[in-house]
A and B are shown apart, each in its own frame.
Chain A
Amino acid sequence: MIEITLRIIVFTFSFLVLFYFFALNTFYLLTNIFAFTSLRRYAGRIKSIEINELLSSAGAPPITLFAPAYNEEATCVDSTRALLTLNYPDYEIMMINDGSKDGTLETMIDAYDMVPTARVPTANIETAGVKQVYRSRKNANLWLIDKENGGKADALNVGLNYCRTPLFCAMDADTLLERDALVRIVRPFLEDASTVAAGGIIRIVNGCTIENGIVTNVRLPKNFLAKFQVMEYLRAFLSGRMGWDAVNAMLIISGAFGMFRRSTVVKAGGYSTSRTAFHTVGEDMELVIRLHRYCRDNDMDYQVRFVPDPVAWTECPESLKILGRQRDRWQRGLYECLMAHRKMLLEPKYGKIGMLAYPYFFFLEMLGPAIELPGYFVLVYVIVTGMISPAFAVTFFMVAVVFGVVLSIAAVGLEELTFRRYPKFSDLLQLFGLAVIENIGYRQMTTYWRIRGFISALRGKTGWGQMERKGFSSTTSANKTDE
């Protein structure tokens, strides 16, 4: 009797796994195809638009850059210098010191001759206390807000409260923006006045050479974990985001680099914190979901876009421990955001978001690891017990792996078709190799971390745990689920 029950369970589960792989790969394939067509169009589009023409025009809207910083004493001066050299006619930099325990504040005050300045807020989103606003006497567009510790989302809300430009750009303190990044990411806002948010591409800086805040030589990292992540990011952005953008259903804008319309974000309530709505480690994804929800609830004409040419460089973790923690957190963030907005699931009122993007993230990205990881064990079990022949199991596994390889290589192809950031031929060949070997080990590891994050989210373990104390250090970049 037990044996029969077990058999039924195993068989049902096997079908679930089969269906999961089928659905996931179908989605990936579709986003890939959409990404291909729209990237090709985009490449042509960029050629017809003179970036510098936008710069010389008086119509470029002013932007405020939010750079939240927690214990960034070592890097804050350099990263601020890089921000000061951005190629944009009218922008303010607002560094928000989130109660750093080190000398971030003093270092900044010294380096840029910061003086306490009066500045009134333009919005009143509830946040941790603001201690003092400073302004640089060296660079009139550089501001520093010193506040009590409250986490990244809280710091961004402080930025929102003090922002007085129509657009703001949210980023991580350690994100390195390319000089043209702002001009490029502002384009959707010029071309379509209903744009409320736009995300740029995140690339991995490990292994590249940086001179004066500019990435001069792009190479693959030496560290293997970082190499895998390069592959992952290429896939996630060039085929994932680009594909979702093509069907106009962008649900994620990485917290490491995104541009938003201030008024809409303020009206939607700002970033989610325990003070405004609920605490989440995925505040960047939550904001985009809420923007969709807010705009659709209010019948607004709006756009959320992904733009593939503005680049933000970010450092990725090179140790298993930190990478594991990052993925764990992303998955928890995903869970928290999706559960908070579960009303949108398959709700026709929310259009493509409710019927397509949300279900995709819910079933395939959130629940996916919970199917995939046990799937590996069931695979072993059915082979050992002879319920399914090894050949069948191996064949099935092979299909999944080879499909993954196709998608990864397609992403490398998309990169070659459009941006060609990796000039070394050997790097290109390496990427091909990575596309194959990431399926053995790395993929399973990320699945394990994600399921760990999922389980801890289920248990209601919210918050940063150990990370709460650390705030958002260099390792806690954005929410980029590996699409």
Chain B
Amino acid sequence: MHVPDGFLDLATSAGTAAVAVTGIALALRGARRELDDRLAPLAGVTAVFVFAGQMINFPVGAGTSGHLIGGALAALLVGPWTATLCLSVVLIVQALLFSDGGITALGTNITLMAIVAVWTAWWTFRLLSSVLPKRVSLVPWLAFVAGFVSVPAAAAVFTGLYAIGGQAPIALDTLLTVMVGWHAVIGLGEGVITALIVGSVLAVRPDLVRAARPYLDERVLEIRETSAA
């Protein structure tokens, strides 16, 4: 999903850079509310895991591969504002140190992965959890859907950006179809990884999964007396 320099014209790249800077500025404020002494180390390790996960391209058939974006995972674990910062740190490190993703395209990549993927996943999870029963066992399934949806969502927004400032005359309906189609397949992998990690942390320390907090409030501690007779 890392957009290289040259795909989009400079005006569009400047626009996404402005979106990215605004998003990061808002996230720097929002993350203060999400982070406390307990969650700061978890947020740090979430960024590290996203970096590592993004290195692992898995084959999705027809000579194509995909890798974790990690936006959904980060949003569900540490909250969406902090997740935007996690992904931004990873994308900046990748562009500056690994020449992965362009420099003028850095704003585009932050917009697509640190903002679109993160917030699509977060709102998908919130929406589903508001209509489904509050059962903790459902959380990994919702995490799967949130992860799955976040990837084609980012691909669709890329197509929109390409419609504005793409540097080649491509039929946009074809671009939309193949971008969303392939990224839906990749999204299945995203969903599985997101569900596995969220499920694992949930099993050890449910309170460390930000998205699961409303579920924990629902749990009532009961003291049951065993009858003697």
Q: Do A and B bind each other?
A: no
Residues of B at the A interface (CB closer than 8 Å) are: none
Q: A-side interface residues toward B, CB under 8 Å?
A: none
